[in-house]
Chains A and B, each alone.
Chain A
Amino acid sequence: MLDALAPWYMQIKLVHMLAVMVWLFSTAVGYQNYLVPAFKAWIAAPSDTQTIAMRNLAMERFDRGVILEHIAFPVIMITGPILWVLSGYGANSDWFVLKMLIVFGIFLPIEIADYHLSHFRGSKKRHRLAGDMDEYERNIRLHWRFLVTVTWPIMFFGLLVVGLAVLKPQFT
């Protein structure tokens, strides 16, 4: 199996890198320019029906928008270990150890929460179609708290991981 994949190392790396770019940046414009302003307007006027409608529309569209990101993440998690096995990097490479700690200890739990909030029990559209508007509102607010909480850590560690992978620094 590994012998068959070995000649494709660079192509697998390309797919991995493209998936990382999609995962990191595909939601940036929608988040910064549509979702955040919609929530800020709602925070300023929490009982205004127009701002609530705008917030709900932005959130549901964002749930759809993250589909691309959530296709890219499994691609990263499949191609990453293949590259790991093919390249032979291991615990002797400091950058690699730190990268694995970040991917499995920070990104994976965040993404599990993100999948849950966007597509599974936290899906806003699902609650709206079921007519459960209390649960809809609860999940809108929960998803916003999640986004407020993880925005900076994702930005910081996302760029750090790309830096580690490209520069491959050794600390010891």
Chain B
Amino acid sequence: MLAPLFSREGRYRRYAFVLAGGLLVYLFGGFLLAKWLFTGAAVYPSPAALVGLPVGAFLFALIHISSMKQLDSVRSSAGSHKAD
């Protein structure tokens, strides 16, 4: 049941970009919706936010890909016992 939610070895790129896109839509959309629902005031995103947030999501996905690749690689990390 949980397995389809997690990344599969070697399939990092698509997973990370889909996840980052989903999180961006959820957080950005959720923020605007919550502000509208609970304060009654419609919040309009600034041009800087419209550019900065997708760039931030893209960087988030790149670091996520790097993290997953690093964890799945056989190269040992600091403190590894593998080389012992």
Binding site for B on A (CB under 8 A): 32-33, 36-41, 43-44, 54, 90-92, 94, 97-98, 100-102, 105-106, 113, 116-117, 142, 145-149, 151-153, 156, 171-172
Known: A54-B81, A117-B2. A98 touches B27 (CB 8 A): yes
A98, A102, A145, A147 — most chain B CB neighbours (10 Å)? A145
What residues of chain B have their CB less than 8 Å away from a CB belonging to chain A? 2-3, 5-9, 15, 19, 23, 26-27, 30-31, 34-35, 37-39, 43, 49, 60, 63-64, 67-68, 71-82
> Given known contacts A92-B39, A97-B34, A153-B64, is B3 in contact with A40 (CB within 8 Å)?
no
* CB <8 Å contact, A37 and B2: no
By the criterion CB–CB under 8 Å, are B63 and A152 in contact?
yes
User: Could you tell me if A91 and B34 are in contact, using CB atoms closer than 8 angstroms?
Assistant: yes
> Which 8 A-B pairs give the minimum distances between C-beta atoms?
A91-B38, A37-B80, A33-B79, A44-B74, A152-B67, A145-B6, A149-B6, A41-B82
B79 contacts across to A, CB distance below 8 A = 32-33, 37
Residues of B within 8 A of A94 (CB): 31, 35
B34–A101 touching, CB < 8 Å? yes
Given contacts A37-B77, A40-B73, A91-B39, contact A149 B31 (CB under 8 A): no
Which of A54, A90, A172 is B43 in contact with, Cβ under 8 Å? A172
